[in-house]
A and B are shown apart, each in its own frame.
Chain A
Amino acid sequence: MDWGQILDNSISAAIRPNAIIFALAAIGLNVHFGYTGLLNFGQVGFMAVGGYFAAISVLEWNVPLVVGWLVGLLAAGGWALLLGYPTLRLRADYLAIVTIAASEIFRLSVMAPTFREVTGGADGLSGFNDDWNSLNPFPSGTYGIGFLKFSAAETWAIVVGWTLVLLSVLLVYLLIRSPWGRVLKAIREDEDAVRALGKNVFAYKMQSLVLGGSFGALAGIYFVSQQASVVPSNYSTAQTFYAYVCLILGGTARIWGPVVGSMLFWAILTLTNDTLRELVANDYIPESIMDPNQVGQVRLMLVGLGLILLLVFRPQGLLGDRRELMLEPS
């Protein structure tokens, strides 16, 4: 058992692109669920819309990747309007059902052979991120402090990613402190009271859905840019629930909650994953109980169990404040 290596992996997982992607997605969910009380169970749909539209606009219209990013963000905004319009006047769980259904509609559609020309079918798309690589200012080599070692490409991805996360956190911080943000929190607490004060609750909810969805799209766009490909199998519904675990683990309705939660989530996930793999490889767990292929399934079981235990025993997560929780029906 190489504990040192496992520990190194876990700590670096907290700053690798996966943690960044889920931090961004969870920041979006924090705007929806934490501050406005909207149940978006299709955050992965926003990620997919952002990622696909960015990739397709570069490949089909030959625009620079930066324009592709904007197209992806705009598409996600449109996606939010489309989903919000029928559901935001209804009870909270309707939005949940529609968002999860819509994310599946999108995934199944891009996977369909009918659209293969544009979306690449089940194989997805690649070859759209030349700009991403040519913008990389780091000459090839190894960068890092102590045991944390990253290649030039990884360093570039990490620097861009964490810059995006910090900017997003700053934006959310400023918006939530503004009068606009206070209305969102008021909607979370008591929608009818806000309506009685003459605010257009529907419009505020819609703005919140668009904003949070854009963070989701940003996560998706960043994901495909640094990974150099976009594949439909990366957008299963489970990804949304990962983002929820990140958010609740860190602390709902807290500025840093989603970021801390995502770092912690990936560190814990890598720790359990590597430990289980080592245990299986060194025969501490006999093959008859678990083979190496089943480690991934145990990991997902732990995510489910973690979600249950968190909500039963510590719904406010690590940083949360119980009084700020939107855990009652609206």
Chain B
Amino acid sequence: MKTKVVALGALLIACVLGTAAAAGAQEPTTTTAPGATTTVPGQPVPSPTGEAVRGTLFYEDENEERQLVEGVDVTVDDAAGNEIATVTTDEEGVFEVPLPGPGSYTATIDIDTLPEDISLRDEDRATLTFDMAESRTRNLLYPLQSGEGGGGSGSSFFDRAARLFVEGVRFGLIIAMCAIGLSLIFGTTGLTNFAHGELVTFGAIVAWVFNVTWGWPFIASAIIAILISILMGFAIDRFFWRPLRDRGTGLIAMLVIAIGLGLLLRYIFQFQFGGFGEAYRQYNLQEGIEIGPVRIVPRDLIGMGISIIALVAVATFLQRTRMGKAMRAVADNKDLAESSGIDVNRVIGFVWASGAGLAALGGILQGLSEQVSFQMGFQLLLLMFAGVTLGGLGTAYGALVGSLVVGVAMEVSTLWIPTEFKTVVALSILVLVLLIRPQGILGQAERIG
């Protein structure tokens, strides 16, 4: 009977995602930029095995938008110091040099040809040495910056802080939506759901399949995807977790099972969806609108509005309705709730369904402002844990507050430290909270362990 349960779950996933296979066929082909112009006489002799080095020069302006840099000279020499070619980047910021064969080369960027105000982020790395293997194309990276420091030249510290703060709130709201389900599931069943990120990815991918593969309008696709995710959440509980609970499977065993389930789903997603990030068909290119010092694209503004409405709705639901009250009761004390006549399994089913729906909404909004990828949910998962732990494990409002703090801290920290440490900041907060206040901001102090 248990095999039936597992098979059912797999079948359900396969059914919904089977459609994504078709998507692979019409993935947008990546446009290859036109070759760069050679300025030095004596065309380089391209190798028969086709080694080449290329790169794209760009910097991020104060709105974190990519600006391509045209007309910069890059010189490639071989190991003996003989010049192979000097090329100039084209209007796409691309330079490309075919090489005579495998071996060691150096590439030097001519700093004098960079536009005013644009400089190399690391001035010692104007000359790069690299080895070419046979029939490979190698990408060179020359990180550029505008002005003296960071991406935000020309804008004051306060303006940058305000912009990062808004970006942090946007991201924090998304983490919060995903994390509320995680927190409520933990509160009602005791399960630390390591497969919660996959519910986020599931929603985003289903919406993508409707929107891009089948050409539905984005909003309709999003609504359908959320409905399917709600069903999916309910089904996972009814046909997977509930039988396991009825069998008396221990919490730690269930936790390891959740990890297995997450792994299985994540790679089913990759199998069907591919390993690359994809964008939705609509609302890709938008003009930013200025609100005070902050410039924001309408899709992010509306996304934030939707997140806030969804979160207020959840709060009202938890406070005002019978089901909401029952959820809080089960989270507080399961046995007492059961003995006072609450149908605990029904409540848990409801928690799973609504948690999955919220996670899907979060995933769709995140996919809209960034990209849809098979591991977007897993990347959010650790941040959700950080938010939930910070707020207090098992409480709905704690998840909200904690996630907002994590989102804002991640973005605002980039004022002082390099962007690549954003995630490290969030996860360090998690460790620090456990050290200082393990029950979280809103959690109740109790002796645990």
Which A residues are within 8 Å of any B CB, using their own CB? 39, 41, 83, 85-94, 96-98, 100-102, 104-105, 108-109, 111-114, 191, 238, 241, 244, 248, 290, 294, 297-298, 300-301, 303-309, 311-313, 315, 326-330
Q: State the main secondary structure of chain A at its contact with B.
A: helix
> From A87, which residue of chain B is reached at the shortest CB distance?
B434
CB atoms of A112 and B264 under 8 A apart: no
CB atoms of A300 and B263 under 8 A apart: yes
Which residue of A93, A305, A308, A312 is within 8 Å of B255 (Cβ)?
A: A93
CB atoms of B253 and A311 under 8 A apart: yes
Is B68's beta carbon under 8 Å from chain A? no
CB atoms of A307 and B250 under 8 A apart: no
A201 CB to closest chain B CB (Å) equals 9
Bound form: Cα–Cα A313–B5 in Å: 13
Bound form: Cα–Cα A90–B434 in Å: 9
Set of chain A residues within 8 Å of B260, measured between Cβ atoms:
241, 303-308, 311
Given contacts A90-B434, A92-B449, A102-B431, 10 further A-B contacts (CB under 8 A): A39-B252, A86-B435, A94-B438, A97-B430, A114-B421, A294-B271, A300-B263, A304-B260, A306-B260, A311-B253
CB atoms of B430 and A329 under 8 A apart: no
Set of chain A residues within 8 Å of B190, measured between Cβ atoms:
329
Set of chain A residues within 8 Å of B42, measured between Cβ atoms:
none
Set of chain A residues within 8 Å of B448, measured between Cβ atoms:
90-91
Set of chain B residues within 8 Å of A301, measured between Cβ atoms:
263-264, 267-268, 271
B375 CB to closest chain A CB (Å) equals 10
Within 8 A of A (CB), among B361-409: 382, 385-386, 389
B275 CB to closest chain A CB (Å) equals 8
Bound form: Cα–Cα A102–B389 in Å: 15
> With A98-B434, A105-B428, A307-B257 as given contacts, are A92 and B252 in contact (CB-CB < 8 Å)?
yes
Bound form: Cα–Cα A317–B12 in Å: 28
A272 CB to closest chain B CB (Å) equals 13
CB atoms of B418 and A114 under 8 A apart: yes
CB atoms of B253 and A315 under 8 A apart: yes
CB atoms of B264 and A97 under 8 A apart: no
Is B256's beta carbon under 8 Å from chain A? yes
CB atoms of B255 and A39 under 8 A apart: yes
Within 8 A of A (CB), among B231-257: 244, 249-253, 255-257
Set of chain A residues within 8 Å of B389, measured between Cβ atoms:
94, 97
Within 8 A of A (CB), among B134-169: none
Which residue of B244, B261, B420, B434 is within 8 Å of A112 (Cβ)?
A: B420
Bound form: Cα–Cα A216–B81 in Å: 46
B11 CB to closest chain A CB (Å) equals 13
Is B423's beta carbon under 8 Å from chain A? yes
Is B427's beta carbon under 8 Å from chain A? yes
Is B322's beta carbon under 8 Å from chain A? no
CB atoms of A98 and B256 under 8 A apart: no
Residue from the set A83, A101, A112, A305 with the largest chain B CB neighbour count within 10 Å: A101
A141 CB to closest chain B CB (Å) equals 28
CB atoms of A96 and B267 under 8 A apart: no
Which residue of A93, A105, A108, A191 is within 8 Å of B192 (Cβ)?
A: A93
Set of chain B residues within 8 Å of A309, measured between Cβ atoms:
6
CB atoms of A108 and B263 under 8 A apart: no
Set of chain A residues within 8 Å of B266, measured between Cβ atoms:
300, 304
A–B complex contacts, Cβ < 8 Å, 21 sampled: A85-B435, A91-B449, A94-B438, A101-B385, A102-B427, A102-B431, A105-B423, A108-B423, A109-B424, A113-B420, A300-B266, A301-B271, A304-B264, A308-B261, A311-B257, A312-B244, A327-B252, A327-B253, A328-B251, A329-B190, A329-B250
CB atoms of A104 and B253 under 8 A apart: no
Which residue of A96, A104, A112 is within 8 Å of B418 (Cβ)?
A: A112
CB atoms of B420 and A312 under 8 A apart: no
Is B43's beta carbon under 8 Å from chain A? no
Is B270's beta carbon under 8 Å from chain A? yes
> From A248, which residue of chain B is reached at the shortest CB distance?
B256
Bound form: Cα–Cα A90–B445 in Å: 12
A213 CB to closest chain B CB (Å) equals 16
Within 8 A of A (CB), among B49-92: none
Bound form: Cα–Cα A113–B421 in Å: 10
Set of chain A residues within 8 Å of B430, measured between Cβ atoms:
97-98, 101
B421 CB to closest chain A CB (Å) equals 6
